[in-house]
Amino acid sequence: MPEGHTVHRTAKHFSKHFLGKQVELTSPQGRFTDSKLVSGQALLTSEAFGKQLYLGFETATVRIHLGIYGKWRFRGFEDTPPEPVGQVRARFLSGEQVADVVGPTSCEVLDALQVTAKQSKLGPDPLRIDPGDHELQRFLTRVASSKVVIGQLLMDQSVIAGVGNVYRAELLFRAGLNPYTPGHLIASEVIAGIWFDAVMLMRIGVKTGIMLTRDGYLKGRPTILDRYSAYKREGLPCRNCLNPISIQVLNSRKLYWCSSCQSA
């Protein structure tokens, strides 16, 4: 499942190529019948909230959540738009740009009240501009008031929006924090440290297009084996202490961590 930085990159792509232009919205697959409600209108806003993309048209907003299997295809063309490939749920066409979304979990047209209701359920997003640490305080409150373990809280989109399995593993490793520590037992400075680390790492993801969570590899394009300290490294020696990286299942998702470095 794409994590928050990928959705923010998608929002930027729409802002660059579609914003302020009339967009023809169709559903080659035929399942997104509401596409006609905004087709032909100008795209006025393009925003990411966690893992959800909101495309604001003149009379309504399209919300897209890729989920586990969804993906985007962006293409430019000169004369004729390319034919859709596969089961394209929605096609956005404007000028010489086309964007196809395939297999999303959600693809729907919402009015203003419905948009507000959806967004109100999301936790703070480390990638959204926050004048005054309001989002940090929301995150602190939601973690500190919960008896749920931090490894599960970081995957809860109502606690922090945009973090997925990769960032969860890497943020906890970098914090030296046991993923099974209940939120209310974690010091506020540690919780804040996780937030600011998420802000930094996810901004790098927006800029580069890939997840880079090791300080020595924040420049260039390292291989996937070099990008992470814990994620997908089960059985391999910890980069800090040589203890084998552990893998367990927490709330139906794989959890990667070092039982030595993250014993606290």
Q: Which one is catalytic: 3, 104, 142, 174? A: 3
CB 43 within 8 A of CB 57: yes
Q: Which one is catalytic: 138, 232, 239, 253? A: 253
Residue 51 annotated among the catalytic residues of the structure: yes
Residue 253 annotated among the catalytic residues of the structure: yes
Neighbours of 203 (CB within 10 A): 14
Q: Which one is catalytic: 2, 104, 124, 179? A: 2
Q: Which one is catalytic: 9, 24, 51, 168? A: 51
**Residue type at position 69:** Y
Residue 78 annotated among the catalytic residues of the structure: no
Cα end-to-end span (Å), the chain: 29
Long-range pairs for 225-230 at CB < 8 Å and ≥24 separation?
228/166, 228/169, 228/170, 229/170, 229/173, 229/174, 230/169, 230/170, 230/172, 230/173, 230/256, 230/257, 230/258
Residue 108 annotated among the catalytic residues of the structure: no
Catalytic residues: 2-3, 51, 253
